[in-house]
Chains A and B, each alone.
Chain A
Amino acid sequence: MKGAFRQSMAWLHTWTGLLVGWFLFVIFLSGTSAYFQYEITRWMTPEQTVVVTSQVAAQNAMTWLRTNQPEAVAWDIYLPGKRGGPVEVYWTPKPEAGKDAVRDWEKDTVRLDAATGQKAAGRDTQGGYFLYRFHYDLHYIPVIWARWIVGFCAIMMLTACITGIVTHKKIFADFFMLRFGKGQRSWLDAHNVSAVVALPFILMITYTGLVTLASLYMPWPIKASGMTEESYYAALYPVAPTREPTGKPAAFINLDKVFETTRQRWEGAGIAYLSAVNPGNAGATLTATSAPDKRMQTRGDSVQFDGVTGQILWVSPVRGVEAKTESVMVGLHAGRYAGAVLRWLYFIGGIGGTMMIATGLVLWTSKRRLKLPDPARPHIGFKLVEKLNIGCIVGFPAGIAIYFLANRLLPLGMTARADWEIHSLFIAWGAVLVWGFARPAKRGWVEALSVCAGLFALVPVVNAITTPRGLIHSLVSGDILFLSFDGLMVLTAIGFAFAARKVARHKPMVKAKTKASKTQPEPA
């Protein structure tokens, strides 16, 4: 019975993993890049060189709003954190008499350079934000569908993880086992090592990923409790009360005071979001919400100030233990609290998870190739898996390299430039996918891997040619961010080149040899 249980779990591990493996690979890789979302954005906006504190950014945004939208009935400012990036402002135009104030979220907004407080100069790009959004909203399809697809993949991932642990008898003993050049056995070792090293991270990230969108996936507990979605959200994320404007104009408060007060209240945490209602009026209010840079909890605390006197009018209530748990789980997933070292650990964990998925997908083919009646002419299912492996494991990274290259190469004044950067990613990915299908499997791997290596190697070169912030400049000026980015591109290129060489030199194992090794016990 115990053996049968393990066997059925091995079966489930194999097929859940395979079914969603390609999606998971893409989700994991883009999600991993999101730990450096702001750094990627800064690399992709090389014209913006100065990082300012959120306090300076807020003052600049306020100045812009005062000058350009003095009549607006509400101002909202999304501030960058310590890691830089633009500041986004939104406003609600003053309505015509007798009408309600309405904001057009697409139109009534501008992205400002945090340091200058002017419209962001230079190239139009979504930067790291696109890769971050892609890992749960995908692209070209409605976000709700995308989130359900990603949620389905996540629950499959969780199933594959648990069944993988059950299946794997000697999980920690095998951890020290990495046998090279042994075909299927080596792929299994690589799959195990990446899985065990990153296991706590992988389990955490998958479960907390589901938690970030829990109320979408699992709305039934809300209904069962007798709450409506509105009352549930109102209870969980309380909003400051509104105050009617008076007839009198009055000067808006100085933000320095707001920053000083909140810093004390929040044990040093910064402000992520400022919301002004009726600015310039005697009845104005200003609500500040904390940034998740000091605590694992990701949901912010809010304080509402009188917009003229600076007196505190309202403070968001203390969270219950369940809401705190949710907030910490989402915080663990997003890692916004992490400093530089922990951020790199997050990144390495993410890469480990990505490798685990990739090696698992390759293992599926490696394990079955020798059992094919004629390995030279595999059946259609085998072919499909093999080609999709090339198309995703190499195609998506190649697409990311093209995304970075497009950022440097597309004309600056081009219309819909940011969109075309994104289209470039998918065009390149699609091209590799088609190429993989068109070529014999081994050739397809070698060619795709080589091209991918070349593309990543090109990124620092093209950067040096098209911007004044090339590798030499970064070395001389000690630009850690550009150095790390360019360095990581070179490392990735080396990794893909190494893989290409390995595959090119690979000689398929003789059938007889494999049969002999079968006498040893073999974990699934």
Chain B
Amino acid sequence: MCNSFKDVLLPDLRLSLTISPRWGARCGVLVRTFAATVGGYGIAALWGALLSAGLSRFEGVATSGAVLTGMLSSFAICVCVVMWVFAARDLKRMALGLLIPAVLLGVALWLLRATA
């Protein structure tokens, strides 16, 4: 059955080297829940901010329109990130899959703001 986190998040059992498998799986769920909340909102916010800053700068979109484009699309990004966090095979992949886009978006946003 697929609804037990023991089965689905089996790879997280690596966490359990020091603790019992059951608690290892539970920790895995906890870590992923935290990552999904912070990562989901964080990456969505970075996406929205970058789109808003980029569109008004390079595409000649009116600033309020660029803000809206970033704002309205960010919710879809948030859902994608949450899905990724729970779909990733293990915690390492999950973390990389969050950090790489977050850093890329963050650096791009920083560059845009720094050169404004």
Chain A contact residues, CB within 8 Å of chain B: 4-5, 7-12, 14, 155, 158-159, 162-163, 207, 210-211, 214-215, 217-218, 220-227, 232, 235-236, 320-323, 325-326, 329, 367, 371, 524
Contacts and interface: CB of A to CB of B under 8 A. Distances in A.
B116 to A, nearest CB: 7
Contact of A329 (B46, B50, B72, B116): B72
Contacts of A325: 68, 72
B8 A11 contact: yes
Contact of B87 (A5, A155, A232, A321): A5
Contact of B3 (A163, A220, A226, A524): A524
A450 B10 CA distance: 44
Interface string B65-94: 111111110111011001100110100000
Given A220-B46, A320-B64, 20 more contacts: A8-B9, A8-B86, A8-B87, A162-B79, A210-B75, A214-B71, A214-B72, A218-B71, A220-B49, A221-B48, A221-B49, A221-B74, A224-B52, A225-B52, A226-B63, A236-B68, A322-B62, A322-B66, A322-B72, A323-B65
Interface residues of B, number: 43
Contacts of B83: 9, 12, 159, 162-163
A14 B49 contact: no
The 5 closest A-B pairs by CB, nearest first: A224-B49, A221-B52, A221-B70, A322-B65, A235-B64
Contacts of B64: 227, 232, 235-236, 320, 322-323
Interface string B33-77: 000000010001110111111001000011111111111101110
B15 interface: no
A512 to B, nearest CB: 18
Nearest to B63: A225
12 contacts: A8-B8, A11-B5, A155-B78, A211-B72, A218-B71, A218-B74, A222-B67, A225-B70, A227-B63, A227-B64, A320-B64, A326-B72
B75 A235 contact: no
B48 A158 contact: no
Nearest to B51: A221
Most chain B CB within 10 A, of A5, A8, A214, is at A8
B22 to A, nearest CB: 14
A224 B47 CA distance: 11
Contacts of A162: 79, 83
B64 to A, nearest CB: 4
B52 A235 contact: no
B87 A9 contact: yes
A232 B70 CA distance: 14
A478 to B, nearest CB: 45
Looking at A14, A159, A225, A227, which has the most chain B CB atoms within 10 Å of its CB?
A: A225
Contact of A226 (B78, B87, B116): B116
B4 to A, nearest CB: 8
B71 to A, nearest CB: 5
Contact of B109 (A12, A224, A322, A367): A224
Contact of A7 (B7, B51, B56): B7
B14 interface: no
A225 B70 CA distance: 10
A215 B71 contact: yes
Given A5-B87, A11-B2, A221 B67 contact: yes
A281 B36 CA distance: 59
A337 B66 CA distance: 27
B113 A224 contact: yes
B45 A218 contact: yes
A225 B68 contact: no
B72 A11 contact: no
A59 B88 CA distance: 63
Nearest to B70: A221
Contacts of B5: 11
A262 B74 CA distance: 37
A322 B2 contact: no
Nearest to B50: A224
A214 B10 CA distance: 37
Interface string B86-116: 1101000000000000000000010001001
A223 B63 CA distance: 11
B79 A12 contact: no
A44 B36 CA distance: 44
B51 to A, nearest CB: 7
Nearest to A19: B33
A321 B72 CA distance: 13
B52 to A, nearest CB: 4
A356 to B, nearest CB: 18
B78 to A, nearest CB: 6
Nearest to B45: A220
B14 to A, nearest CB: 16
Nearest to B82: A159
B56 A225 contact: yes
The residue among A9, A218, A321 with the most chain B CB atoms within 10 A of its own CB is: A218
Interface string B1-34: 1110101110000000000000000000000000
A218 B44 contact: yes
B45 to A, nearest CB: 4
Nearest to A7: B2
B59 to A, nearest CB: 11
